Amino acid sequence: MEESPDNLEAHFSLGMVYAMQGEQKKASGEFAFIFAKESEFAAYHFEMGRALEVWGDKKQALVHYQRALVINPKYDAAAQAAKRLTESAAKESSGKTPSPLADKPKSPEKKKAK
């Protein structure tokens, strides 16, 4: 990176190392650098999605998987990951228990006397 600071592959490799070490801010910084220079490379979006999914940010992971599919509609791994997250989100939303306050009857509003 010292010899070629704009080398996207070097930033990608460093970002992946940071991601594997759990250093989210550093990894995200490397990916942000990459996306600022080259936002149309499906593999970068796929790998960012994988890291985000591991970190628990499934919503943003899905965004990156979907972006990878826009760039390369035949990216099977991204399609499978996006499908998995979409199905998981659907299961979670259908299995939620309603809030105890959601079913509580509302008290009628009192009108002000004139």
- Residues 67, 48: contact at Cβ < 8 Å? no
Per the structure, the count of domains in the chain is 1
Q: What is the pLDDT of residue 107?
A: 44
- Residues 52, 61: contact at Cβ < 8 Å? yes
Quick: pLDDT tens for 25-47.
999 999 999 999 999 999 999 99
The stretch 77-92 carries a mean pLDDT of: 93
Q: Where does 20-97 show beta strands of DSSP type E?
A: none
Reported as a pLDDT band with limits 50, 70 and 90, residue 2 is: confident
For residue 85, give the CATH number of its domain: 1.25.40.10
Is 15 a domain residue?
Answer: yes
Other residues' Cβ atoms within 10 Å of the Cβ of residue 14: 19
What is this structure's pTM? 0.76
Q: Indicate the average pLDDT of the chain.
A: 86
Burial of 96 (C-beta count, 10 Å sphere; 0-12/13-18/19+): exposed
Quick: pLDDT tens for 53-69.
999 999 999 999 999 99
Is 105 a domain residue?
Answer: no
Domain that holds residue 77: 8-89
Residue 111 reports pLDDT greater than 90: no
